[in-house]
Structure 1
């Protein structure tokens, strides 16, 4: 193994394959060399412990790290440092997949996850959100002396959980919490784990859609300043500019940007397929400004080259971006432009306000933003003060 005098021990047959695997995922030459040294250290330890590759798992890695620390090794390896090696060996099939925790809570959540996917047909991202809420609820309200006892749940437990959750989130998110809580309570009842239909005890969250205004709209100049702040001389800058252009000019949500695939861009017809909420798919026209930004991004070297997702990370391990990266891109643009921090959704609001200012109707704006309910788009009519002045009734006794 180049770069080290130590022999890789039990993992010797996997050195070159691991090297190629790391290179394909964008790791630098120096990082690859260090990670191969780590492989050698693990392989030597396995040989000394008479372990075979099939026995390598998280527990074995913990023992390896403990031995390394006991031997006074200066550069300690944390759990994350060992993750690429385990991932590679598991992809080869020489190391067994990680076994999930077999606690009662973990087993119940696994059943709940299967029920949401198979019985309700929910999207994976929705399932993850519902499962996280169920985990918090059961941990906080259904564990008695460490034992899972959902049969003892009452309306008091439901109210206590909702008061804690709703105290730290917005009204819109609080409504989501109630839906997530009703879902897990329905599951518990259908499985016979609770004697009562506790889902009916979940109180609704007060929220009047037309009682509040949308956040202040960003000006056209501010939106352009965010776009201009993206340097286009690096792979990160070109990618960020393409992401910002999609959000600012087409109003895409963060998750919709992350879900885009190469095949979603129809260059011949000038259209873009957008996968939105509820597994909905829409076709949007592809403006020339957006198309040019995508072309500039795709002209850069893509690693891995066979990736189907449109946007990829620029640091190893290379792969599809996550939805929260879109928020990071907008935040960095705000810092560069010297503007107050805003999220990607504010750019959607800015697009809607500008369309309204230019005379577009609410139906047209609803189609661009892909709102399922026209009442959601109706919020923007409240900030069109010029039009409102024409339709406002005069105050009694006053001359208009």
Structure 2
């Protein structure tokens, strides 16, 4: 801890008091790996140590540590010290680290407060252990289950799942289809089917209501791909020597951190992008800097623009599909709609000549 933070020995000795003292070295290393400045890390460690002393003096155990306990700690601290903007984020960081390393148990949902918590938790375990789904998909499925159960049962405790019917399933999906796009409605339908099959497998339902979930119509080739003209694409800061730029980033600019992801946040905490929308945000900012305002923005705009340009320059759909890493040629066929010269050759002459 001393190597990273540069704290004076007398300060280090003071930090060794309290319930959190055995964990401060690991927390210090975590702060360093996440890229926090030394001054920020020093303040955080002092805050953690003070929280540990307060816990001990107020007869708490370390296992009692949660958001409510830390709120009580801050309320007491603010009677004597001025609040600082780092306090809440740093204490959230503390809880996350202790939970991830197993010192603390993950926060549990109380059945008394949420009547749907037990069945939702059982479904979460099923998704992780039996279906081996990634965390993002698990979160999407659980969000759908929460909305479905709240919609059907409200605050009824406990929900009588045996009362579910095909009419309930259809009515819920109809409401979702009115609120969301066809693509997102398909995700909701998949999640609801998975939940209903789970209820059937565990004997909670006697009939397979998953078959009652309608399949939202989604016509993959119904629209046109959104793209920019080639001259507009040239105004994004994409150098021709992308490989060399990437090499320089990895060698000289990428912050040192433990994550294996290529691109990481420059500001602490140092970590990879949490979701794909971060890339979309970067593209939108680049478009704004270039004073470009296409009606549709985001990362896919660049892919569509490249594919459209290649098609108009004579590339085949197979070549474009290979470049874009499409697994199915049907995904690439949508670009045929913007190949105007080829479409003109397919169009029969208008009876009586040009009108």
TM-score > 0.5, shorter chain as reference: yes
- 1:39-58 residue pairs with structure 2 within 5 A? 39-58=48-67
1:170 equivalent in structure 2: 181
Aligned residues: 339
Give yes or no for contact 1:213–1:383 (8 Å, CA) kept in 2.
yes
Taking structure 1 as reference, are residues 180 and 51 closer, same or farther at Cα in structure 2, changes over 3 Å only? closer
Superposed CA deviations along residues 20-65 of structure 1, whole A, max 9, x for unmatched, are 4312211112212321231233123123213344543334323323
Give yes or no for contact 1:311–1:321 (8 Å, CA) kept in 2.
yes
Given the alignment of the two structures, is residue 300 of structure 1 paired with residue 252 of structure 2, yes or no?
Answer: yes
Q: Distance in 1 between matches of 2:22 and 2:220?
A: 62
Tell me by how many angstroms 1:298 deviates: 0.5
Given the alignment of the two structures, is residue 318 of structure 1 paired with residue 305 of structure 2, yes or no?
Answer: no
Given the alignment of the two structures, is residue 374 of structure 1 paired with residue 329 of structure 2, yes or no?
Answer: yes
Q: 1:181 aligns with which of 192, 195, 199?
A: 192
2:312 equivalent in structure 1: 357
Given the alignment of the two structures, is residue 224 of structure 1 paired with residue 234 of structure 2, yes or no?
Answer: yes
TM-score, normalising length: structure 1: 0.74
Taking structure 1 as reference, are residues 363 and 151 closer, same or farther at Cα in structure 2, changes over 3 Å only? same
Gaps of 5+ in 1: 229-244, 246-287
Q: Distance in 2 between matches of 1:205 and 1:13?
A: 55
Q: How large is the Cα RMSD of the aligned pairs?
A: 3.0
Q: Distance in 2 between matches of 1:106 and 1:155?
A: 23
TM-score, normalising length: structure 2: 0.83
Q: Which runs of 4+ in 1 moved over 6 A?
A: 3-6
Once structures 1 and 2 are overlaid, which stretch shifts more, 323-332 or 390-399? Answer: 390-399
1:290 equivalent in structure 2: 242
Q: Distance in 1 between matches of 2:270 and 2:262?
A: 13
Q: Distance in 2 between matches of 1:225 and 1:43?
A: 54
Give yes or no for contact 1:334–1:340 (8 Å, CA) kept in 2.
yes
Q: Distance in 2 between matches of 1:333 and 1:399?
A: 44
Tell me by how many angstroms 1:349 deviates: 0.9
- 1:330-341 residue pairs with structure 2 within 5 A? 330-340=283-293
Given the alignment of the two structures, is residue 74 of structure 1 paired with residue 72 of structure 2, yes or no?
Answer: no
Give yes or no for contact 2:173–2:189 (8 Å, CA) kept in 1.
yes
Taking structure 1 as reference, are residues 54 and 338 closer, same or farther at Cα in structure 2, changes over 3 Å only? same
Q: 2:164 aligns with which of 153, 161, 166?
A: 153
Q: Partner of 1:148: helix, strand, or coil?
A: coil
Tell me by how many angstroms 1:127 deviates: 2.9
Give yes or no for contact 2:257–2:271 (8 Å, CA) kept in 1.
no
Q: Distance in 2 between matches of 1:308 and 1:49?
A: 41
Q: Partner of 1:226: helix, strand, or coil?
A: coil
Tell me by how many angstroms 1:330 deviates: 0.9
1:270 equivalent in structure 2: none
